[in-house]
Amino acid sequence: MLMTMQKNGMARTSIMAAAAFGLCLACGAASAQDLGNLGSNLSGKLGSLGGTGSMSSGSMGNVAGLLQYCVKNNYLGGDSGASGIAGKLLGKTDGGSNNSDYQSGLSGMLKGSNGHTTDLSSVGGGNSDLKSKITTKACDVVLKQGKSFLGH
């Protein structure tokens, strides 16, 4: 309505810029809310692996597989010791590399003891930066859990 009243091109540009800025703020707020929800959801699932939440701990096999997934996809560096920890965990896992939880972890499936799963290969809703941040955080938590399983 203001645009039809203004004849000056500068005023139109300012109003359009203000409207675009307002839209960006609204989108940003929605994204932050979605990220918060996703973070809470992921934290609960990660907590179920570590036994730090109200749920019991998940399997060593899944943690071992997830650590391999994290190293392979460069979410954990080679100096993190993740491969060695994964190998030690795998040695303590029933069925070794044939263990179904291990196999799920290799493909990026985080399995909580409560039966819920999160596919780390598809988190972030198509936003590669968000996916990278979430998956890196998840891999860090899984690495800590792996160390805890081994008493480190």
Of residues 71 and 22, the one with the higher pLDDT is 71
Contact 61, 102 (CB under 8 A): yes
pLDDT, tens only, 93-147: 999 999 999 999 999 999 887 888 889 999 888 888 999 999 999 999 999 999 9
DSSP secondary structure letter of residue 73: T
Asked if residue 1 has pLDDT above 70, the reply is no
Q: What are phi and psi of 110, to 5 degrees?
A: -85, 120
Number of domains, the chain: 1
Confidence band (pLDDT; 50, 70, 90) for 68? Answer: very high
Contact 110, 120 (CB under 8 A): yes
CA distance linking residue 123 with residue 118, whole number of Å = 8
pLDDT, tens only, 33-49: 444 445 555 555 555 44
pLDDT of residue 6: 42
Two tokens, residue 125: 């809703």
CB atoms near residue 51 (< 10 Å): 14
Q: What's the rounded mean pLDDT across residues 49-59?
A: 45
Q: Which domain holds residue 25?
A: 2-149
Q: Is the pTM of this model over 0.85?
A: no
Exposure string over 81-107, b if 16+ CB within 10 A, otherwise e = bbeebbebbbeebeeeeebebbebbbe
pLDDT, tens only, 77-97: 878 899 999 999 999 999 999
- Range picked from 20-34, 49-63, 107-121 for highest mean pLDDT: 107-121
108 closest CA partner among 148, 78, 136: 136
pLDDT of residue 44: 53
